[in-house]
Amino acid sequence: MKKLKKIASFFVLFFTVIGLIITVKYFNIPEILRNTLTWIENLGFWSPIAFIIIYNLATLLLIPGSILTLGGGVIFGIFWGSIYVFFASTLGAIIAFAIGRYISRDWVCKKLNQHPKFQVFEQAVVQEGFKIVFLTRLCPLFPFNLLNYAFGVMQVSLKNYIFGSLGMIPGTIMYVYIGSLIGDIALIGTSQQPTSLAIELTKWIIKIVALIATATVTIYITRLAKKALEQSIS
């Protein structure tokens, strides 16, 4: 049974990687996402449900969600757009977290545990799971989709993971707000995307918050890892 689980985990990882390579190489992802958003916009009552499902699929396939987040602002406005995007991203993150923990965890941990430095880093993350998840969610520079799987492997508790994901709220609102100002799905992520004082100001706020969060989480994790290393040596 254990052997079958390992084989299944291998094939899940293998086909996921192959699928991502093919998708990136042969498909225009931004254009596909814009067309999908246009389709969602015309669904009326079913638009929120379709949007959440598509957002979840993108999260699981490691497709960056910036275009979808901006599109949420265009379609639903800043209030409902923020709610739908946050719910969709959180749900997708929990599913990816579960996959990382229950499907691929054994295989990934076996590889990573060969490196003592990773073990020290993992101890630091486990000790202060909520704070680290919150800080990395606050910063859009960290790879959101990849971290979903990584935190599942690192034994962060589900409770800390979910509450730490509240750090996504400021970035979500700001990106949805930018989308609501753009107002046209066809212009999202293109060189023709309009600019205004409000859009530029919001982008600068995102950059400043990202810089502060990146510096904070880097220093914090370094200190925790150093402390864990000293404890393991003593």
Count structural domains, the chain. 1
Q: Has residue 20 been placed in a domain? A: no
- Determine the pLDDT at residue 152: 82
Is 78 among the domain residues? yes
The answer to whether 65 and 58 are in contact (CB under 8 A) is: yes
Tell me whether residue 16 is in a domain.
Answer: no
**Inside any domain, residue 138:** yes
pLDDT at 1 over 70: no
- pLDDT, averaged across the chain: 77
pTM for this entry: 0.75
The domain containing residue 117 runs over which residues? Answer: 29-233
pLDDT of residue 91 exceeding 90: yes
pLDDT digits (tens, 9 = 90+) for 124-181: 666 777 888 888 887 766 777 778 887 887 778 888 888 988 888 888 888 898 888 8
**155 in a domain, yes or no?**
yes
167 in a structural domain: yes
Domain-embedded: residue 72: yes
Q: Is residue 18 part of a domain?
A: no
| Across 52-67, average pLDDT | 87
The mean per-residue pLDDT over the stretch 93-103 comes to: 85
